[in-house]
A = this chain, B = another copy of it.
Amino acid sequence: MLTKAALVNAALDQSIPLARPLKIHEAMRYSLLAGGKRVRPVLCLAACEMVGGDQSLALPMACATEMVHTMSLIHDDLPCMDDDDLRRGLPTSHKKYGEDTAILAGDALLSLSFEHVATRTPSSVSPDRVVRAIAELGSAVGSAGLVAGQIVDIASEGDVDVTLEDLEYIHIHKTARLLEAAVVCGAILGGADDESVEKVRRYALRVGLLFQVVDDILDVTRSSEELGKTAGKDLASDKATYPKLLGLDGARRFAAELVGQACEELAGFDPVKAAPLYHFANYIATRQN
Protein backbone atom coordinates (compact mmCIF):
# COMPACT_ATOMS: atom_id res chain seq x y z
CA MET A 1 0.00 0.00 0.00
CA LEU A 2 2.90 2.34 0.83
CA THR A 3 4.39 1.86 -2.61
CA LYS A 4 1.06 2.69 -4.20
CA ALA A 5 0.71 5.88 -2.15
CA ALA A 6 4.23 6.93 -3.19
CA LEU A 7 3.38 6.25 -6.83
CA VAL A 8 0.24 8.38 -6.48
CA ASN A 9 2.15 11.21 -4.81
CA ALA A 10 4.70 11.29 -7.61
CA ALA A 11 1.96 11.30 -10.25
CA LEU A 12 0.03 14.06 -8.47
CA ASP A 13 3.20 16.15 -8.28
CA GLN A 14 3.61 15.84 -12.06
CA SER A 15 -0.06 16.42 -12.82
CA ILE A 16 0.12 20.18 -12.15
CA PRO A 17 3.24 21.99 -13.42
CA LEU A 18 3.97 25.46 -12.08
CA ALA A 19 2.79 27.20 -15.24
CA ARG A 20 1.49 30.73 -15.71
CA PRO A 21 -0.66 32.10 -14.05
CA LEU A 22 1.53 31.03 -11.13
CA LYS A 23 -0.89 31.82 -8.31
CA ILE A 24 -3.63 29.42 -9.39
CA HIS A 25 -1.19 26.57 -9.98
CA GLU A 26 0.48 27.23 -6.63
CA ALA A 27 -2.90 27.13 -4.90
CA MET A 28 -3.86 23.90 -6.66
CA ARG A 29 -0.55 22.27 -5.72
CA TYR A 30 -0.68 23.58 -2.14
CA SER A 31 -3.88 21.70 -1.34
CA LEU A 32 -3.36 18.68 -3.60
CA LEU A 33 0.14 17.91 -2.29
CA ALA A 34 -0.55 18.69 1.39
CA GLY A 35 -0.38 15.02 2.34
CA GLY A 36 -3.15 12.70 3.36
CA LYS A 37 -3.37 8.94 3.13
CA ARG A 38 -4.40 8.86 -0.54
CA VAL A 39 -7.03 6.27 0.40
CA ARG A 40 -9.16 6.71 -2.72
CA PRO A 41 -6.27 6.58 -5.24
CA VAL A 42 -4.68 3.57 -3.54
CA LEU A 43 -7.97 1.64 -3.57
CA CYS A 44 -8.47 2.62 -7.22
CA LEU A 45 -5.08 1.11 -8.12
CA ALA A 46 -5.71 -1.96 -5.96
CA ALA A 47 -9.06 -2.64 -7.65
CA CYS A 48 -7.42 -2.30 -11.06
CA GLU A 49 -4.81 -4.90 -10.15
CA MET A 50 -7.33 -7.22 -8.53
CA VAL A 51 -9.29 -7.57 -11.78
CA GLY A 52 -6.06 -8.32 -13.67
CA GLY A 53 -5.03 -4.88 -14.95
CA ASP A 54 -1.66 -3.20 -14.58
CA GLN A 55 -2.02 -0.34 -12.09
CA SER A 56 -0.67 2.14 -14.66
CA LEU A 57 -4.03 1.81 -16.46
CA ALA A 58 -5.83 3.40 -13.51
CA LEU A 59 -3.16 5.84 -12.33
CA PRO A 60 -4.67 8.96 -14.00
CA MET A 61 -8.08 8.05 -12.55
CA ALA A 62 -6.49 7.45 -9.15
CA CYS A 63 -5.10 11.00 -9.32
CA ALA A 64 -8.49 12.29 -10.46
CA THR A 65 -10.24 10.93 -7.36
CA GLU A 66 -7.71 12.79 -5.17
CA MET A 67 -8.21 16.01 -7.19
CA VAL A 68 -11.97 15.74 -6.63
CA HIS A 69 -11.51 14.98 -2.93
CA THR A 70 -9.18 18.00 -2.58
CA MET A 71 -11.62 20.28 -4.41
CA SER A 72 -14.38 19.28 -1.99
CA LEU A 73 -12.14 20.01 1.02
CA ILE A 74 -11.16 23.46 -0.33
CA HIS A 75 -14.77 24.46 -1.01
CA ASP A 76 -16.14 22.92 2.22
CA ASP A 77 -13.57 24.91 4.25
CA LEU A 78 -14.75 28.29 2.86
CA PRO A 79 -16.18 30.89 5.27
CA CYS A 80 -19.68 30.52 3.83
CA MET A 81 -19.54 26.72 4.37
CA ASP A 82 -17.71 25.17 7.37
CA ASP A 83 -15.42 28.20 7.89
CA ASP A 84 -12.27 26.29 8.78
CA ASP A 85 -8.91 28.06 9.15
CA LEU A 86 -6.73 24.99 9.40
CA ARG A 87 -6.49 21.69 7.58
CA ARG A 88 -3.84 19.12 8.48
CA GLY A 89 -2.15 21.79 10.61
CA LEU A 90 -1.77 24.23 7.72
CA PRO A 91 -3.82 27.30 6.79
CA THR A 92 -6.74 26.38 4.55
CA SER A 93 -6.62 27.49 0.92
CA HIS A 94 -8.72 30.64 1.39
CA LYS A 95 -6.65 31.65 4.44
CA LYS A 96 -3.46 31.39 2.41
CA TYR A 97 -4.59 32.58 -1.03
CA GLY A 98 -7.87 34.41 -0.47
CA GLU A 99 -11.41 33.24 -1.09
CA ASP A 100 -11.45 34.05 -4.79
CA THR A 101 -8.36 31.99 -5.53
CA ALA A 102 -9.56 29.14 -3.29
CA ILE A 103 -12.84 28.88 -5.19
CA LEU A 104 -11.02 28.99 -8.53
CA ALA A 105 -8.43 26.42 -7.40
CA GLY A 106 -11.28 24.06 -6.55
CA ASP A 107 -12.94 24.68 -9.91
CA ALA A 108 -9.66 24.06 -11.74
CA LEU A 109 -8.98 20.84 -9.82
CA LEU A 110 -12.48 19.57 -10.59
CA SER A 111 -12.12 20.32 -14.27
CA LEU A 112 -8.61 18.87 -14.36
CA SER A 113 -9.78 15.61 -12.81
CA PHE A 114 -11.91 14.82 -15.86
CA GLU A 115 -9.38 16.20 -18.34
CA HIS A 116 -6.58 14.19 -16.72
CA VAL A 117 -8.47 10.91 -17.13
CA ALA A 118 -9.37 11.79 -20.73
CA THR A 119 -5.83 12.75 -21.77
CA ARG A 120 -3.57 10.56 -19.61
CA THR A 121 -5.23 7.14 -19.47
CA PRO A 122 -2.98 4.77 -21.49
CA SER A 123 -4.23 4.10 -25.00
CA SER A 124 -4.33 0.37 -24.25
CA VAL A 125 -7.54 1.03 -22.27
CA SER A 126 -10.47 0.97 -24.67
CA PRO A 127 -12.03 4.46 -24.92
CA ASP A 128 -15.49 3.17 -24.00
CA ARG A 129 -14.08 2.16 -20.60
CA VAL A 130 -12.65 5.66 -20.20
CA VAL A 131 -16.07 7.15 -20.96
CA ARG A 132 -17.77 4.81 -18.45
CA ALA A 133 -15.22 5.73 -15.77
CA ILE A 134 -15.72 9.46 -16.41
CA ALA A 135 -19.49 9.01 -16.05
CA GLU A 136 -18.96 7.14 -12.77
CA LEU A 137 -16.66 9.86 -11.42
CA GLY A 138 -19.12 12.59 -12.43
CA SER A 139 -22.02 10.92 -10.67
CA ALA A 140 -19.93 10.74 -7.47
CA VAL A 141 -19.24 14.49 -7.51
CA GLY A 142 -22.35 16.33 -8.62
CA SER A 143 -25.84 16.88 -7.30
CA ALA A 144 -26.25 13.13 -6.69
CA GLY A 145 -22.84 12.84 -4.98
CA LEU A 146 -20.50 15.07 -2.96
CA VAL A 147 -22.51 18.22 -3.65
CA ALA A 148 -25.74 16.54 -2.49
CA GLY A 149 -24.05 15.43 0.73
CA GLN A 150 -22.65 18.87 1.46
CA ILE A 151 -25.95 20.67 0.84
CA VAL A 152 -27.84 18.33 3.21
CA ASP A 153 -24.99 18.60 5.74
CA ILE A 154 -25.25 22.40 5.72
CA ALA A 155 -29.03 22.27 5.98
CA SER A 156 -28.92 19.88 8.96
CA GLU A 157 -26.40 21.93 10.93
CA GLY A 158 -27.90 23.04 14.23
CA ASP A 159 -30.98 20.92 13.53
CA VAL A 160 -31.78 18.82 16.62
CA ASP A 161 -34.11 16.54 14.70
CA VAL A 162 -31.45 15.06 12.44
CA THR A 163 -32.40 11.44 11.83
CA LEU A 164 -30.19 8.42 11.22
CA GLU A 165 -31.48 8.51 7.68
CA ASP A 166 -30.17 12.08 7.25
CA LEU A 167 -26.79 11.12 8.72
CA GLU A 168 -26.53 8.11 6.43
CA TYR A 169 -27.46 10.28 3.46
CA ILE A 170 -24.72 12.77 4.30
CA HIS A 171 -22.15 10.06 4.92
CA ILE A 172 -22.99 8.11 1.77
CA HIS A 173 -22.82 11.21 -0.41
CA LYS A 174 -19.87 13.00 1.21
CA THR A 175 -17.67 9.96 1.85
CA ALA A 176 -18.84 6.60 0.60
CA ARG A 177 -19.85 7.57 -2.94
CA LEU A 178 -16.39 8.84 -4.03
CA LEU A 179 -14.72 5.83 -2.44
CA GLU A 180 -17.12 3.62 -4.38
CA ALA A 181 -16.35 5.47 -7.61
CA ALA A 182 -12.59 5.12 -7.04
CA VAL A 183 -12.84 1.35 -6.61
CA VAL A 184 -15.37 0.86 -9.41
CA CYS A 185 -13.38 3.02 -11.84
CA GLY A 186 -10.22 1.07 -11.00
CA ALA A 187 -12.04 -2.14 -11.90
CA ILE A 188 -13.51 -0.69 -15.11
CA LEU A 189 -10.13 0.61 -16.30
CA GLY A 190 -8.42 -2.65 -15.29
CA GLY A 191 -10.63 -4.50 -17.76
CA ALA A 192 -13.19 -6.09 -15.41
CA ASP A 193 -16.32 -7.71 -16.88
CA ASP A 194 -19.71 -6.34 -15.77
CA GLU A 195 -20.17 -8.99 -13.07
CA SER A 196 -16.80 -8.18 -11.47
CA VAL A 197 -17.55 -4.46 -11.59
CA GLU A 198 -20.76 -5.07 -9.65
CA LYS A 199 -18.96 -7.26 -7.08
CA VAL A 200 -16.44 -4.48 -6.56
CA ARG A 201 -19.25 -1.96 -6.22
CA ARG A 202 -21.01 -4.04 -3.54
CA TYR A 203 -17.68 -4.38 -1.72
CA ALA A 204 -17.27 -0.59 -1.73
CA LEU A 205 -20.85 0.06 -0.58
CA ARG A 206 -20.38 -2.24 2.45
CA VAL A 207 -17.03 -0.73 3.35
CA GLY A 208 -18.51 2.76 3.03
CA LEU A 209 -21.34 1.90 5.44
CA LEU A 210 -18.90 0.04 7.74
CA PHE A 211 -16.87 3.22 8.07
CA GLN A 212 -19.87 5.10 9.48
CA VAL A 213 -20.91 2.32 11.86
CA VAL A 214 -17.38 2.09 13.29
CA ASP A 215 -17.25 5.88 13.62
CA ASP A 216 -20.46 5.78 15.68
CA ILE A 217 -19.16 2.92 17.86
CA LEU A 218 -15.85 4.70 18.50
CA ASP A 219 -17.73 7.81 19.50
CA VAL A 220 -19.31 6.05 22.48
CA THR A 221 -16.46 3.71 23.44
CA ARG A 222 -13.31 5.83 23.27
CA SER A 223 -12.35 8.77 25.41
CA SER A 224 -11.79 12.17 23.81
CA GLU A 225 -8.07 11.93 24.36
CA GLU A 226 -7.68 8.62 22.58
CA LEU A 227 -9.89 9.71 19.72
CA GLY A 228 -8.32 13.11 19.17
CA LYS A 229 -11.73 14.72 19.01
CA THR A 230 -14.65 15.31 21.31
CA ALA A 231 -15.94 11.84 22.12
CA GLY A 232 -19.53 11.17 23.08
CA LYS A 233 -20.64 14.30 21.27
CA ASP A 234 -23.10 12.34 19.13
CA LEU A 235 -24.86 11.12 22.27
CA ALA A 236 -24.63 14.50 23.96
CA SER A 237 -26.20 16.22 20.96
CA ASP A 238 -28.96 13.60 20.78
CA LYS A 239 -27.88 12.72 17.25
CA ALA A 240 -29.15 9.43 15.84
CA THR A 241 -26.37 6.80 15.69
CA TYR A 242 -26.08 3.06 15.10
CA PRO A 243 -25.32 2.25 18.78
CA LYS A 244 -28.38 4.21 19.82
CA LEU A 245 -30.53 2.45 17.24
CA LEU A 246 -29.13 -1.09 17.59
CA GLY A 247 -27.42 -0.97 20.98
CA LEU A 248 -23.62 -1.16 21.26
CA ASP A 249 -23.49 -4.94 20.83
CA GLY A 250 -25.96 -4.76 17.99
CA ALA A 251 -23.85 -2.13 16.23
CA ARG A 252 -20.75 -4.30 16.69
CA ARG A 253 -22.54 -7.32 15.24
CA PHE A 254 -23.69 -5.19 12.30
CA ALA A 255 -20.08 -4.03 11.70
CA ALA A 256 -18.83 -7.64 11.76
CA GLU A 257 -21.54 -8.60 9.28
CA LEU A 258 -20.53 -5.80 6.93
CA VAL A 259 -16.84 -6.83 6.94
CA GLY A 260 -17.89 -10.42 6.20
CA GLN A 261 -20.16 -9.35 3.36
CA ALA A 262 -17.56 -6.99 1.89
CA CYS A 263 -14.87 -9.68 1.90
CA GLU A 264 -17.28 -12.24 0.45
CA GLU A 265 -17.49 -10.11 -2.69
CA LEU A 266 -13.73 -10.55 -3.15
CA ALA A 267 -13.87 -14.36 -2.96
CA GLY A 268 -13.79 -14.93 -6.72
CA PHE A 269 -10.60 -12.92 -7.32
CA ASP A 270 -6.93 -13.95 -7.07
CA PRO A 271 -6.38 -13.82 -3.26
CA VAL A 272 -2.91 -12.26 -3.55
CA LYS A 273 -4.21 -9.44 -5.74
CA ALA A 274 -7.33 -9.03 -3.60
CA ALA A 275 -5.26 -8.73 -0.40
CA PRO A 276 -5.12 -4.89 -0.31
CA LEU A 277 -8.92 -4.65 -0.48
CA TYR A 278 -9.31 -7.38 2.19
CA HIS A 279 -6.88 -5.51 4.42
CA PHE A 280 -8.62 -2.21 3.89
CA ALA A 281 -12.01 -3.62 4.99
CA ASN A 282 -10.42 -5.14 8.09
CA TYR A 283 -8.48 -1.95 8.81
CA ILE A 284 -11.70 0.06 8.73
CA ALA A 285 -13.40 -2.46 11.02
CA THR A 286 -10.62 -2.53 13.63
CA ARG A 287 -9.42 1.08 13.57
CA GLN A 288 -9.26 2.80 16.94
CA ASN A 289 -9.52 6.43 15.80
Contacts and interface: CB of A to CB of B under 8 A. Distances in A.
Interface of A: 16, 19, 21, 23-25, 28, 71, 75, 78, 80-81, 98-101, 103-104, 106-108, 110-112, 114-116, 118-119, 126-128, 130-132, 134-135, 137-139, 141-148, 150-152, 154-155
A16 B114 CA distance: 20
Contact of A138 (B103, B114, B147, B148): B114
A111 B19 contact: no
B143 A19 contact: yes
A22 to B, nearest CB: 10
B127 A104 contact: no
A80 B107 contact: no
Number of copies: 2
Nearest to A17: B143
A23 B155 CA distance: 10
Given A24-B151, A100-B154, A115 B131 contact: no
A147 B131 CA distance: 24
29 contacts: A19-B144, A21-B143, A21-B148, A23-B155, A24-B148, A24-B151, A25-B143, A71-B107, A75-B103, A80-B99, A80-B103, A81-B100, A81-B103, A104-B147, A107-B107, A107-B110, A107-B141, A108-B141, A110-B110, A111-B145, A114-B134, A115-B134, A115-B141, A118-B134, A118-B138, A127-B128, A127-B130, A130-B131, A134-B134
Contacts of A128: 127
Given A21-B152, A112-B143, A115-B138, 11 more contacts: A21-B155, A23-B151, A81-B103, A104-B150, A107-B146, A107-B147, A111-B138, A115-B142, A116-B138, A118-B132, A126-B127
A112 B116 CA distance: 16
B112 A111 contact: no
B115 A135 contact: yes
Given A25-B143, A107-B147, A100 B118 contact: no
A152 B21 CA distance: 7
A142 B80 contact: no
